[in-house]
Amino acid sequence: MQVKICGITNLEDALCAAQNGVAAVGFIFHRPSPRFINPQKVAEITDKLPARLVKVGVFVNEKESFVRRTFERCRLDMIQLHGDESPGYCRQFPRNRILKALVLQTEEDVRKSEAFDVAAILVDARHNGLYGGTGRTADWDLARKIAGPLILSGGLNEFNVPAALEVVRPAALDINSGAEEKPGKKDSAKIARMMRIIHSASAGETPLNIFIGRDRT
């Protein structure tokens, strides 16, 4: 199963993720986030990462021009839209490059997700106005009803990941606060333990490759 570690703010944590078999790392360009990182620093980090590690930029309600400019400047592979972006906004970008984050509160939210023509839907949780990284779990019962490829996020950690995999059966996982010492600093031991748990729980399954490099179509 593919795993993305989000909220990367330094080279050490990104390399740790790569060494533990993580498929992708996420860089958050949303200033209110405690894990915000500026594009210049991301460009310096991505230049030193292995090509197989997919680099994802996380944007919240940004102008399309800023997203495109940052995508190229930082040599990103994929774009994660984590705000209130519409299906029309998402269609400005290549489908296989876009991950759309949604919060599911009702069955109607599940139905609305079908309007997004993207590589995958990422289900997360919000709290106190924050667009993610809150440590709150998403609604697993609603998440499992997403029709297309699903990335499960929201409060995942080494203790609840096995249950999440069993209940939701997502195509991929997105882990942020559950792999940290503190906001913006990952815990290498937690990453290693979680990856062992995930590999054990998903052994024998054929992974769906959602996270792809920029040179792949």
* Nearest by Cα to 100 from 144, 24, 87, 35: 87
For 75, other C-beta atoms within 10 Å of its C-beta total: 13
Band the pLDDT of 207: cuts 50, 70, 90: confident
User: What's the confidence (pLDDT) of residue 134?
Assistant: 55
Query: What's the mean pLDDT in 155-173?
Result: 96
User: Higher confidence at residue 204 or residue 193?
Assistant: 193
Band the pLDDT of 9: cuts 50, 70, 90: very high
Please list, residue by residue across 119-143, b when 16 or more beta carbons sit within 10 angstroms of its beta carbon and e when fewer do.
bbbbbbbbeeebbbbbbbbbbbebb
What residues act catalytically? 6, 124
Contact 27, 48 (CB under 8 A): no
Contact 98, 78 (CB under 8 A): yes
What is the reported pTM? Answer: 0.95
* Nearest by Cα to 117 from 144, 138, 140, 96: 96
> pLDDT for 87-143, tens place per residue?
999 999 999 999 999 999 999 999 999 999 999 999 998 745 555 555 679 999 999
> pLDDT for 143-162, tens place per residue?
999 999 999 999 999 999 99
Q: What is the enclosing helix (H) or strand (E) of 122?
A: strand 120-123
Tokens describing residue 134: 């809150």
Contact 78, 57 (CB under 8 A): yes
Contact 40, 57 (CB under 8 A): no
Task: Give the chain's mean pLDDT.
Answer: 94
Instruction: Tell me which of 3.30.465.10, 3.20.20.70, 2.40.50.140, 3.90.1150.10 is the CATH number of domain 2-201.
Output: 3.20.20.70
pLDDT over 70 percentage in the chain = 95
